[in-house]
Amino acid sequence: MRLRSLVAAAVLAAALPGTAMGGDPARGAALAAERCAACHGADGRSAMPDIPSLAGQQPGFTTLQMILMREGIRRVPAMQPFVEGMPDQDIEDLAAWFASLPPGPPQDRRPRDAALLAAGEALIGPRNCAVCHLPSLAGREQMPRIAGQREEFLARTMAGYRDGRRIGADPQMNGAVAGLSDAEIAALAHYLAQQD
């Protein structure tokens, strides 16, 4: 695990122009075991409905979102006690730890629904998902990995962006999902959740 973390950190450092993110995954592991694992899973793959998996998540995304929550800009009541007053170093260490974990689907992922999968896949291009999340849907920097995420979490998140209950660091996602029907969101969520 330590070697993999080091490799992950090296790859990250090379990818970021001039930004040395100082996350220590080993320290993050200890923090995560204490504060995060109960909901987000010991291996970063959430087994709880509506709670996102964080394994393999982009550290820039995890860091940004935790800071937005801590600052009161993104409001998630369940997370508030955990992020309240959390030092930057803890946030960076947690982000580095989750980034070092291999991403993968939750154990309770439901079987593929061919029709839903096809309907979701057909929306990826028109909705320009790959412009930010990359064709692999693994994300980059402050834009999240969405491949293999929990299906109901993806659906709730997209509906939140669509309905104005959620806003990111900028309103790009609100525009990207504007006008989607509940059925289209369900199809997109299924397609994304089925990607590995």
Partner 1 sequence: MSMRRFWLGVATALIAGPALAQQPAQAPVPGWAVGRPEGSALAPHAPRLTVTPLAEVPVAAIRLPQGFQAEVFAHGIPGARTMAEGPNGTIFVGTRVIGRVYAVTRNPDGTTRVRTIAQGLTQPNGLVMIGNSLYVLAVNRVLRYDNIEANLDTVPAPVDLTAAFGLPTEQEHGGNHHWKFATLGPDGRIYTNVGVKCNICEFDRDRFALLVSFNPDGSGRRIEARGVRNSVGMAHHPVTRELWATNHGRDWAGNDTPNDTLIRVRRSGEDHGFPFCVGDWRDPQYNAGRNCSEFAQPAALLGPHTAALGMRFYTGTMFPEQYRNQIFLARRGSWNRERLSGYDVLVAHLDAQGNVTRLEEFMTGLRDDANQKFLDRPVDVHVMRDGSLLVSGEQMGAIYRITYRR
Q: Can you give the binding site for partner 1, defined by CB under 8 A?
A: 16-22, 60, 63-64, 67-68, 71-73, 88-89, 91-92, 123, 126-128, 131-132, 141-142, 162-167, 169-172, 174-179
- Comparing CB distances to partner 1, the nearer of 15 and 42 is 15
Cβ(195)–Cβ(147) below 8 Å = yes
Q: CB of 174: closest distance to partner 1 in angstroms?
A: 5
140 bridge partner residues: 143
- Comparing CB distances to partner 1, the nearer of 29 and 180 is 180
Q: CB of 97: closest distance to partner 1 in angstroms?
A: 15
CA distance 176 to 89: 32
Q: CB of 162: closest distance to partner 1 in angstroms?
A: 8
Residues 6+ apart with CB under 8 A from 5: 25, 26, 96, 97, 100
Q: CB of 68: closest distance to partner 1 in angstroms?
A: 8
- Comparing CB distances to partner 1, the nearer of 5 and 65 is 65
Q: CB of 81: closest distance to partner 1 in angstroms?
A: 17
- Comparing CB distances to partner 1, the nearer of 90 and 151 is 90
Alpha helix positions (H), the chain: 2-15, 25-35, 37-40, 59-70, 80-83, 88-100, 114-124, 129-133, 151-162, 172-177, 182-193
- Comparing CB distances to partner 1, the nearer of 92 and 151 is 92
